[in-house]
Structure 1
Amino acid sequence: MDRLRQRADFVAAASGPRMASPAFVVQSRPRDDAGPVRVGFTVTKKVGTATERNRVRRRLRELVKRLDVISMRPHHDYVIVGRRAALDRGFETMFNDLRSALSRLERQTPRQPSDPKPHANSRTRSSE
């Protein structure tokens, strides 16, 4: 399992499907290459001070280390966005949340762009 390092990879994962839990949000993106699963971590300044953000990031990294690789789809990128609740939430609970989020992401079908529907109030004029 490799780490995501470049901003473009984080931005690309943000446009894919996501699953939320109280302590984090998991975003995923399929890749076309045959590389290993890659995981990135991010925690915004809204979460707290640098010490608190680093603690959240460490907890999230440990969750992924303990997770079996089978839970993650091959050829996918995952971004885990930490929330403030990750500071106080039990580790075992967070682990179960992560496994649940990954299984829900696996069941979710990729979003396909749909044809825009005409506005309900628009009327077409008949030519007379």
Structure 2
Amino acid sequence: MQSQFRLRENREFRRVFQRGRSAATGRFVLYWYKTQIGHFHVGFSISKKVGNAVQRNQLKRRLRACFQELSPQLRDQSVDFVVIARKGSADTSYLEICRDVQKLLKKAQFMV
């Protein structure tokens, strides 16, 4: 995923958490906040409870790949997303992660 589509700074994450809305599945929580930027941004929050550094980084790579795959459908949205991984989400396969992300985006009404 290109760096222009990523949330990086703490203040951006805080804005999404404080002003945004949320939806959840058993493995992930999605927060979103509509902006005026013109395209979507996404950030990931994965705590040490999820697993060791290797597992957390692998999960982040898989989540980035899912959003990269879905980016043509989200490109017109001016929204900031934050995905929080829950405990036990590191053991899931790529297909299950993508399915959960799609389910969250449908709950948030960003996908049909």
Q: TM-score, normalised by structure 2?
A: 0.81
The percent identity for this pair of structures is 28
Query: Which structure 1 segments of 5+ residues have no match?
Result: 108-128
Note closer, same or farther for the CA distance 1:9–1:3 as it changes in structure 2 (3 Å cut): same
Structure 1 residues 29-108: aligned runs within 5 Å? 29-31=33-35, 33-71=36-74, 74-106=77-109
Higher radius of gyration, 1 or 2: 1
2:22 aligned residue (18, 21, 24)? 18
Q: Which structure shows the bigger proportion of residues in helix conformation?
A: 2
Unaligned stretches of 5+ residues in structure 2: none
Q: TM-score, normalised by structure 1?
A: 0.72
Match of 2:9 among 3, 6, 9: 6
The change in CA–CA distance for 1:72 and 1:46 in structure 2 (over 3 A counts) is farther
Number of corresponding residues? 106
Cα RMSD, aligned residues only: 2.0
